[in-house]
Structure 1
Amino acid sequence: MRIEIETFTVNKRFPLTISRGTTSQTTNVWVKIEQDGITGWGEASPFSLGNHQQSTEVLKAALQQLVPQLEVYNPLQRQQIEGVLNSQLPSAAKAAVDVALHDWLGKYVGLPLWQIWGLDCSRIVPTSVTIGINTPENAKARVRAWLQFAEVRVIKVKLGNPIGVTADREMFLAVQEAATTQDIFVDANGGWNLEDAVEMCKWLAELGIKYVEQPLAQGEENKLAELKKRSPLPIFVDESCHTSRDIPQLAPLIDGINIKLMKAGGLTEAMRMVHTARAYGLQVMFGCYSDSTLANTAAAQLSPLADYLDLDSHMNLIDDPFMGAMLQAGRVIPNHKSGLGVERSAA
């Protein structure tokens, strides 16, 4: 097979601030795998999380180094290819190759991935859109802008403000005031200590919130047992859970996991994570980083298996180069085209 790698830069309509910083622009990597006149597409988007510092430069260099090892295979030789990918390849680079191989396979057999897996798209739940850390007035304005831009049924509020939980409360109440008919979820991105997390979980539970995501920082998993005992809300983890190998030790301490293709290393591992989580009685969410429509459409192929979805990054781009899954009644729905069903946007 022949592999091409190129980069593309995307800009956010609304810069996103979380507990670890602000992003307004990213440069992602586009991987194309060609065999027998069929081309499969995949995407690697950079992210920084603890020891996982996966910059665009790191991802591109890793993929370029891998190309000679992969081009000797046919895309159907997945077991051999996975052995190559399971080296020390950054997870986002692995995701790009894995997604491209899935796209190629779907096009090869002439079916969308969700149909190959026998999934039911009517079970896809609404996706949340994200309101980053901001002042109360700016957060309210951001909610109104989202509601004018798209049919929004769920809002995810980023808390964990470095200023403290008083600022978190003020911002949350402002969002709640602006979002009168939407469900609201909360993601602290590890921005709270244990006592603040307990306090905020109790406060948010009184306001009818269904769960809280990543209340404690990555590396503080030893405190999750105490939080679970004292919190009235279900606890989801994101930064603390990368692959299926992380789930067994986390399962007694949490209620759900957030699966992201860039963390997991693609659709193959994402499916493993779903099955492992279900075996432990956990709920499942799919999320994203600064992914374009390409990667989020890939995640949408698996989304009938999720309890919650946070696949909104592509909707916040002003220059997304791809078209694929579409927002319908607040839900990101893949189409009936073969593979991912992703095409280039009109110039």
Structure 2
Amino acid sequence: MELILKEYNLKLKHTFTISRESIDFQPSLIVELKNDHFSGFGEATSNPYYKTTVAIMMKDLEKIRYIIEAINDITPADFYTKLHPHLEHDMFALCALDMAYNDLYARQKGKKLYELWNYSIDKNPMTDYTIGIASIEKMVTKMQELPWPIYKIKLGTKEDIAIVTELRKHTNAIFRIDANCGWTVDETISNAIKLKKLGVEFLEQPLKADNWEGHKEVFKHSALPIIADESCIIEEDVSKCLNHFHGVNVKLVKCGGLTPGRRMLQEAKKLGLKTMVGCMTESTVGISAIAQLLPLLDYVDMDGALLLAKDIATGVTIDYGKISYSELHGTGVTLI
């Protein structure tokens, strides 16, 4: 098996701002695993909050190239078990690798990945579309540029309620709010009451990730469901979220890929938590991998490729929130 690493700098349509940062370009690593006539693709993007860069990921993968390329014909679960000890310090790199191997494995079996897992796609949820922080006028303009049934609105400013109040005047769409750790306990409880009246479905990660006492307080008193993001990174975090959150948002790049991501979602379901998968502004490579998990989800945020000025791959397509799969096997990805 051959390991091929490709570095990209994905240009965004608009400056993308959350409570922590603003970006115009998203560095991304594409991992290709090639075996005879088959190739599988995976992706992980850089992220300063998690101190991860493409250069670090590439260096970590090069160190174990000899191990990766010696592997032949094992299951994705065994592949993950074998590679995890070498990359447990770099889950982003592990994600891209695990994603690529799952894709390759399914292609070699002549099936789409969700078919290999025996998932039914009859009740797949629709994806939201993200509106990053900007002036109220610019946020309204972004929303009007792309009419959508569900919007995820990034907040964490002093004008949060005013923003949502104004956006509500221009659409009847469902709103989801992501404060990216930008609120206090009191702000969250107070804002939840106001936002519920404005047609908001849930709040995502309003408090700092390690504020577990605060999460517990919000869980008890919030008028809206609370979904964990930064507080739910790896498999062990799912059970911690019980009685602190109403659901979890699993990010594949943070947990190490599709293999642990599936386990996290299954564990969350057992605990009665709502399930969601989010993206990290990936191209269609990463988004097509997320699509394989749709049958396990209550909610999904997989609009990353829609935020790009130019994509680097074809795969799943999205139209007014509805996801359609590629005809190809695996995750259905082809690099452009």
Same fold (TM over 0.5): yes
Residues 130, 157 of structure 1: 8 Å contact kept: yes
**Distance in 2 separating the partners of 1:197 and 1:96:** 34
Residues 132, 157 of structure 1: 8 Å contact kept: yes
**Distance in 1 separating the partners of 2:89 and 2:72:** 20
**Distance in 1 separating the partners of 2:325 and 2:172:** 26
Tell me which residue corresponds to 1:168: 160
**Distance in 2 separating the partners of 1:23 and 1:115:** 36
Gaps of 5+ in 2: none
Q: Partner letter of residue 43 of structure 1?
A: E
- Secondary structure of the residue that 1:34 maps to in structure 2? strand
Query: Relative to 1, partners in 2 of residues 1:176 and 1:294: Cα closer, same or farther, differing over 3 Å?
Result: same
Q: Offset at 1:320?
A: 0.9
Normalization by structure 2: what TM-score? 0.96
Q: Offset at 1:75?
A: 4.4
Residues 191, 216 of structure 1: 8 Å contact kept: yes
Q: Partner letter of residue 331 of structure 1?
A: K
Q: Among residues 146, 150, 153, which one is paired with 1:154 in the alignment?
A: 150
Q: Deviations over 1:243-277 (max 9, x none)?
A: 22101121121100111110111100110011110
**Distance in 2 separating the partners of 1:99 and 1:67:** 16
1:183-332 matched pairs, under 5 angstroms: 183-332=174-323
**Distance in 2 separating the partners of 1:157 and 1:283:** 19
Residues 5, 64 of structure 1: 8 Å contact kept: no
- Secondary structure of the residue that 2:122 maps to in structure 1? helix
How many pairs were matched up? Answer: 334
Pairing 1:336–2:332 present? no
Gaps of 5+ in 1: none
Q: Offset at 1:107?
A: 0.8
Residues 95, 255 of structure 2: 8 Å contact kept: yes
1:129-144 matched pairs, under 5 angstroms: 129-144=129-144
Q: Partner letter of residue 61 of structure 2?
A: L
- Secondary structure of the residue that 1:210 maps to in structure 2? strand
Tell me which residue corresponds to 1:41: 41
Query: Relative to 1, partners in 2 of residues 1:237 and 1:198: Cα closer, same or farther, differing over 3 Å?
Result: same
Q: Partner letter of residue 54 of structure 1?
A: T
Q: Deviations over 1:278-324 (max 9, x none)?
A: 11100011111120000010000111211111100101111211010
Q: Partner letter of residue 55 of structure 1?
A: T
1:105-120 matched pairs, under 5 angstroms: 105-120=105-120
Q: Offset at 1:130?
A: 0.6
Residues 159, 188 of structure 1: 8 Å contact kept: yes
Residues 73, 81 of structure 1: 8 Å contact kept: no
Pairing 1:53–2:64 present? no
Q: Offset at 1:89?
A: 3.8
Q: Offset at 1:228?
A: 1.1
Normalization by structure 1: what TM-score? 0.93
**Distance in 2 separating the partners of 1:124 and 1:230:** 31
**Distance in 2 separating the partners of 1:304 and 1:296:** 15
- Secondary structure of the residue that 2:239 maps to in structure 1? helix
Residues 234, 255 of structure 1: 8 Å contact kept: yes
**Distance in 2 separating the partners of 1:81 and 1:219:** 28
**Distance in 2 separating the partners of 1:119 and 1:194:** 39
Tell me which residue corresponds to 1:85: 84
Q: Partner letter of residue 9 of structure 1?
A: N
Residues 35, 75 of structure 1: 8 Å contact kept: no
Q: Offset at 1:81?
A: 4.9
Q: Offset at 1:335?
A: 2.3
Q: Partner letter of residue 315 of structure 2?
A: G
Q: Deviations over 1:58-114 (max 9, x none)?
A: 111111112122111114254255232233341110011101111111110111011
Query: Relative to 1, partners in 2 of residues 1:257 and 1:320: Cα closer, same or farther, differing over 3 Å?
Result: same
Q: Partner letter of residue 56 of structure 1?
A: V
**Distance in 2 separating the partners of 1:65 and 1:74:** 19
Residues 212, 236 of structure 1: 8 Å contact kept: yes
